[in-house]
Amino acid sequence: MTDVTQRSARRTAADTEPMVLAFDVVVTAVRDLTPTFRRITFGGACLTGFGVVGDTLDLRIKIVIPSEGRDAPDIAAMMSSGDASGWYQRWLGLDAADRGSMRTYTVRESRCSGPRPEIDVDFVMHLDAHGRGGPAAEWAAAARPGDKVCVIGPNASAAQCRTAGAYGGIEWSPGLAQHVLLAGDETAVPAISAILEALPEDIGGHAFLEVPDGQDIRPIRSRSSVQVTWLPRGDRPHGEHLEAAVRDAVRVPGWVSLSGRESANGGGEPEDVDIDRTILWETPQLLETAIVRSTVNPERPPGTQPFYAWIAGEAAVVRSLRRYLVRDVGVDRKQVAFMGYWRKGRAEQA
């Protein structure tokens, strides 16, 4: 068989495989990084099948956390029975006590090609004075080596492109941009950190990370010249420091040329998003769908311009920054990923 034929056979096989798999993993290590962040390492031989080609960047996974005193449901069996894409509805159909909770996290680091495949996930410990919080934070606070959960993530043999575009779990996509902006609160710190560590030397710009306290500041290694600024919140309102930093770094008018001319009048009012009812999630990849391609700068495809921004965190803050960057500054929406990771006062829906 020729090399070309072998590659074709591999692609054909990958096309028939599911993009995501269920990985039954075990906690192998627990480490408190700061008062806000606890790193939990998951291991298991099954993780040899986990991953994407290239860096994980802001790779999202689902973690199924079992109810207290129960085992995690058998997601792998749900995926293999009947329509593979219907596993989520089958999971929702379980009794609440049997299905546990499902939450979305970022892979901080993946080491799945070695003899002991593992992934690290940094949990934000949002707990009150009595140690109460969401199911993921409470589980992480009590996690010990040997505990078992199910991780739903990319099938390594099916996610073949460099940035896992087919998998859909990675949003970072700067294209040709050499000046970038990354901004987020503590929930975005793991993703921003992983992105910065993967950036090449020829990328510059700013990264703003708002965290609860100065003790949460940690060193980040990066070959790039991106300037990293930590913003301890203290007693200030959530997002206040972050918004001020972004507005100072990206100023009106015409901070960046988007189409060969400076934009002094802004980019128009973006569609409003009811963050109490809808997830705020606008990325260049979504804007390129057939539904909106003809209405959002059809002459300028994403990835072709010198500036790219990645904004994530509390939904109200992200919405405010979306309005500022798109309407006031005139940044092309196809050059920004806006992601509401969570909503203040509302629990994440499974």
The domain ranges of the chain are 3-154, 179-342
Q: Does domain 3-154 have CATH number 2.40.30.10?
A: yes
In tens, the pLDDT along 256-300 reads 544 333 444 445 667 777 666 777 888 888 877 644 544 555 666
Task: Count Cβ atoms below 10 Å from residue 342 Cβ, excluding itself.
Answer: 21
pTM for the model stands at 0.87
**Cα dihedral 250, 255, 259, 263 sign:** positive
**pLDDT for 349 beyond 70:** no
For residue 349, give the 3-state DSSP assignment. Answer: coil
Tens-place pLDDT, residues 135-188: 999 999 999 999 999 999 999 988 765 544 556 689 999 999 999 999 999 999
Q: 179-342 adopts what CATH topology?
A: Rossmann fold (3.40.50)
Q: Give the DSSP per-residue string, 288-317.
A: TSTTTTTTS-TTS-TT-SSEEEEEEEEHHH
DSSP one-letter string for 27-60: EEEEEE-SSSEEEEEEE-GGGGGB--SS--TT-E
* Mean residue pLDDT across the chain: 84
